[in-house]
Amino acid sequence: MEKNTQFVGQSLAFLDAVEQAGRAAELNRPVLVIGERGTGKELIAERLHHLSPRWGEPLITMNCAALPETLIEAELFGHEQGAFTGANRARAGRFEEADGGTLFLDELGTLSMAAQERLLRVIEYGEVTRIGASRAVRVDVRIVAATNEDLPAAADAGRFRPDLLDRLSFEVITLPPLRAREGDVAVLADHFGRRMAAELNWPQWPGFTAACSAELEGHGWPGNVRELRNVVERAVYRWDEPARPISRITFDPFASPWKPRPMMPRQESRAETEAAPAAAPSASSPCDRISDLKAAVDAYEASIIRAALERYRYNQRATAKGLGLTYDQLRHCMKKHDLSAG
């Protein structure tokens, strides 16, 4: 599928970000692009490259969250033959591939501390050392990085190196979410709708009804432009009357009366359930023995966190996600209950 790199929008917040990227493109300095998912961070990175003096050189993209931690350093810096199990031949890393051009690091906030340290050395000295090599190779690479995280807060929490943040934040471009781009929902919906109608060989673009347009304007768009594009294109493709304005849209494609129920950790079979004897009513409840509510609640909270840490093998990010907490909230609870990191 051909990539669509066209910028569509008329809101001042959006146009200011695009202009900021155009101005920063001319300088050979690193740029951080911050924004929610679906706001167009990769499009801004492409604009920074194509408007720069490096436009004729490679633009190499790496999604830092798409690789396991053990492979990220090998992907970034390359490796020599035999450097680790499975390294059957030498391989250049993304820095060497981007030499003379631009390296776009998406999801920068997911980099491990070890990879952050090596990245800092490359930025400072302009040299990269493959894993298993004894000699460094000089590279000339401009770094553009993107994330949806609050990196200063991550640095304060010890999850991101402050010195690396200082090196990368010469210019920071923060993209507005779609809900803050006044008037752009209608413009984008019309753009994506016309394009989908042409793909389906409709004789003309009928547009949306007023009620449909109001629904689009009133939606919160947590997935931003990417979500809007899916909603509009799905509405067009499902509409069977190209001569009439579209009056039906679906925001959640998973909504269905036959939607599967969430999987439980362990479900007893019907036979087991029927065979189980009915529990006799208890004369007393454990709650009757509680004399200190705060201590009991704290003990219960600590036992839940301890069990979750063991279940996720003390991977704190996975534990936080499994409990519906942020990483910082989990760390606060661990500190509060004096729980070790394993």
Q: Is the pLDDT of residue 66 over 60?
A: yes
Q: Is residue 329 part of a domain?
A: yes
Q: Is the pLDDT of residue 201 over 90?
A: yes
Q: Is the pLDDT of residue 250 over 70?
A: yes
Whole-number Å distance between alpha carbons of 252 and 217: 16
Q: Is residue 155 part of a domain?
A: yes
Structure tokens at 179: 């809900």
- Residue 323 and residue 301 share a domain: yes
Of 62-66, 67-71, 211-215, 252-256, the one with minimum mean pLDDT is 67-71
Instruction: Give mean pLDDT, residues 137-160.
Output: 95
- Residue 52 and residue 161 share a domain: yes
Q: Is the pLDDT of residue 48 over 90?
A: yes
State the pLDDT confidence band at 336, using cuts at 50, 70 and 90: confident
User: In this predicted structure, what is the pLDDT of residue 269?
Assistant: 47
Torsion angles phi and psi, residue 70, rounded to 5: -70, -20
DSSP β-ladder status, 127-128 and 102-106 = unpaired
User: In this predicted structure, what is the pLDDT of residue 337?
Assistant: 85
Output the CA–CA distances (angstroms, integers) from residue 246 to 83, 183, 210, 256, 329, in the order listed. 58, 20, 10, 21, 45
b/e burial code for range 215-253 (CB count within 10 A of at least 16 → b)? bbeebebebbbebbbbbbbebbeebeeeeeebeebeeee
Instruction: Give mean pLDDT, residues 151-164.
Output: 95
- Residue 202 and residue 115 share a domain: no
Instruction: Give mean pLDDT, residues 33-53.
Output: 96
Q: What is the pLDDT of residues 8-24, one digit of tens each?
A: 999 999 999 999 999 99
Q: Is residue 27 part of a domain?
A: yes
Q: Is the pLDDT of residue 163 over 90?
A: yes
Closest CA to 150 of 178, 167, 170, 174: 174
Q: Is residue 267 part of a domain?
A: no
- Residue 98 and residue 137 share a domain: yes
Amino acid found at 115: A
- Residue 149 and residue 167 share a domain: yes
The H-assigned helical ranges of the chain are 12-25, 41-50, 69-77, 94-97, 113-125, 151-156, 162-168, 184-199, 210-218, 224-238, 270-275, 293-311, 316-323, 327-336
User: In this predicted structure, what is the pLDDT of residue 265?
Assistant: 62
Of the three residues 159, 176, 193, the one that is the final residue of a domain is 176
CATH of the domain at 307: 1.10.10
Q: Is residue 128 part of a domain?
A: yes
- DSSP for residue 222: T
CATH of the domain at 202: 1.10.8.60
- Residue 219 and residue 160 share a domain: no
- Residue 339 and residue 223 share a domain: no
User: In this predicted structure, what is the pLDDT of residue 325?
Assistant: 86
- Residue 202 and residue 147 share a domain: no
- Could you tell me the residue range of the domain that residue 41 belongs to? 12-176
- Residue 187 and residue 148 share a domain: no
Q: Is the pLDDT of residue 4 over 80?
A: no
Torsion angles phi and psi, residue 178, rounded to 5: -60, -35
CATH of the domain at 111: 3.40.50.300
State the pLDDT confidence band at 323, using cuts at 50, 70 and 90: confident
Instruction: Give mean pLDDT, residues 140-149.
Output: 96
| Consecutive H or E run containing 31 | strand 31-34
- Residue 191 and residue 171 share a domain: no
Whole-number Å distance between alpha carbons of 46 and 57: 12
State the pLDDT confidence band at 268, using cuts at 50, 70 and 90: very low
Structure tokens at 104: 């776009």
Residue scoring higher pLDDT (7 or 205): 205
Given a contact cutoff of 8 angstroms between Cβ atoms, the answer to whether 220 and 228 are in contact is no
Whole-number Å distance between alpha carbons of 44 and 194: 24
Which residues are CB-contacts of 30 (< 8 A; sequence separation ≥ 6)? 123, 142, 143, 144, 145, 167, 168, 169, 170, 171
- Residue 49 and residue 149 share a domain: yes
User: In this predicted structure, what is the pLDDT of residue 286?
Assistant: 60
- Say how many domains are in the chain: 3
- Residue 309 and residue 224 share a domain: no
User: In this predicted structure, what is the pLDDT of residue 342?
Assistant: 63
State the pLDDT confidence band at 330, using cuts at 50, 70 and 90: confident
User: In this predicted structure, what is the pLDDT of residue 1?
Assistant: 35
Average pLDDT, the chain: 88
Closest CA to 141 of 237, 58, 233: 58
| Consecutive H or E run containing 105 | strand 102-106
Torsion angles phi and psi, residue 79, rounded to 5: -155, 160
Whole-number Å distance between alpha carbons of 19 and 75: 32
User: In this predicted structure, what is the pLDDT of residue 298?
Assistant: 82
Of the three residues 147, 176, 205, the one that is the final residue of a domain is 176
Write down the pTM of the prediction: 0.72
Q: What is the pLDDT of residues 203-222, one digit of tens each?
A: 999 999 999 999 999 999 99
User: In this predicted structure, what is the pLDDT of residue 216?
Assistant: 96
